Amino acid sequence: MNFEIRPIDTPSHELLLLADEYEASVADYLPRSDCYAFVRDGRIVGQYLLLHTRPFTAEVVNIAVEPASQRQGIGTALLRHAVATARSRGFRRLEIGTGDSGLGQIALYERCGFVRTSLDRDYFRRYYPAPIYENGLECRHMVRLAMELTPDSDQTPR
């Protein structure tokens, strides 16, 4: 596979909304985030946004791979890059959150070394204007996961 992961100034709007369909939410974190794209044969097929949230802490606030390119290891490659980037920038903790109905996303994040830390109950009912359904389930709660990035830790995603 001929690809590179590189920083970009203008992320794919379509991919942003694939990961977070609420425009107001994306508009809130996009200007404060750094975007990295998975570019294959000159075309963006995946991307993530990294946001400095607190001292020593960053969060992957949006990550998506175009549907035709999913299940090819691109999400894992993006997460590996996010971990390496956060670590190289001196962050000690990397966080990520997803809806409780995103069963595939939760499994991916856990396979990559993230650990569930908390549940923000009714997050999507409180902050999103309309119900979201995924896998036949209403997305209600935000599942929060994290990874410690101490320099000597071996938590690079598999």
CATH of the domain at 141: 3.40.630.30
Of 4-8, 94-98, 154-158, which gets the smallest average pLDDT? Answer: 154-158
141 vs 155, higher pLDDT: 141
pLDDT band of residue 153 (cuts 50, 70, 90) is low
Has residue 157 been placed in a domain?
no
pLDDT at 25: 94
Has residue 131 been placed in a domain?
yes
Mean pLDDT over each residue of the chain, to the nearest integer:
93
Render pLDDT for 104-122 as a digit per residue (tens, 0 to 9).
Answer: 999 999 999 999 999 999 9
Has residue 153 been placed in a domain?
no
Cβ–Cβ < 8 Å for 72, 36: no
Q: Give me the mean pLDDT over the 88-95 stretch.
A: 97
Has residue 68 been placed in a domain?
yes
Has residue 156 been placed in a domain?
no
Q: What is the Cα gyration radius of the chain? A: 15
- The predicted model scores a pTM of 0.91
pLDDT band of residue 150 (cuts 50, 70, 90) is confident
Strands of 41-85, DSSP E: 43-54, 57-65
Domain that holds residue 117: 3-148
Has residue 158 been placed in a domain?
no
Q: Give me the mean pLDDT over the 72-89 stretch.
A: 97
pLDDT at 152: 57
Q: Give me the mean pLDDT over the 32-41 stretch.
A: 97
Q: How far is CA 64 from CA 44, 46, 70, in A?
A: 11, 5, 9
pLDDT at 146: 98
Has residue 124 been placed in a domain?
yes
pLDDT at 50: 98
Q: Give me the mean pLDDT over the 79-98 stretch.
A: 97
What span, in angstroms and rounded, lies between the C-alpha atoms of 39 and 5? 6
Distance, C-alpha 137 to centroid of its chain: 21
In which region does residue 124 sit, left (phi positive, over 0), alpha (psi from -120 to 50) or beta (all else)? alpha
- Counting the structural domains of the chain, the total is 1
